Amino acid sequence: MFKAKITAALFGLGLLFTNVAYAELFGSSERKSRNINEFPKWIDMLERFQEEEFYCVKNKKCLINEITEYLEKDTVNDDKFTVIKKVNRLVNSVRYITDLERWGQGDYWATPTQFFEEGGDCEDYAIAKFTLLKKLGFKSDDMRIVVLNDTFKNIIHSVLVVYIEGKQYLLDNEVPKVLQAHEIRHYKPIFSINEKNWWKHRI
**Which pLDDT does position 20 carry in this prediction?**
40
Q: What is the pLDDT of residues 181-202, one digit of tens each?
A: 999 999 999 999 999 999 999 9
Q: pLDDT-based confidence at 18, cuts 50/70/90?
A: very low
**Which pLDDT does position 190 carry in this prediction?**
97
**Which pLDDT does position 194 carry in this prediction?**
98
**Which pLDDT does position 27 carry in this prediction?**
86
Residue range 68-97: mean pLDDT, rounded:
98
Residue 21 has pLDDT above 50, yes or no: no
Between CA 132 and CA 72 the distance in angstroms is 10
Q: What is the mean pLDDT of the chain?
A: 89
Residue 26 has pLDDT above 80, yes or no: yes
Domains of the chain with bracketed CATH:
25-202 (3.10.620.30)
Q: What is the pLDDT of residues 64-81, one digit of tens each?
A: 999 999 999 999 999 999
**Which pLDDT does position 2 carry in this prediction?**
45
Whether the Cβ atoms of residue 134 and residue 140 lie closer than 8 Å to each other: yes
Q: How many CA atoms lie within 13 A of 72 on its CB side?
A: 10
Residue 157 has pLDDT above 50, yes or no: yes
Residue 6 has pLDDT above 90, yes or no: no
Residue range 10-27: mean pLDDT, rounded:
51
Quick one: DSSP state of residue 186? S
For helices 122-135 and 80-92, give the axis angle rounded to 10 degrees. 140
Residue range 32-39: mean pLDDT, rounded:
95
Q: What is the pTM of this model?
A: 0.88
For helices 80-92 and 63-74, give the axis angle rounded to 10 degrees. 140
**Which pLDDT does position 61 carry in this prediction?**
76
Lowest mean pLDDT among 5-14, 36-45, 105-114, 121-130: 5-14
Residue 159 has pLDDT above 80, yes or no: yes
Consecutive H or E run containing 103:
helix 99-103
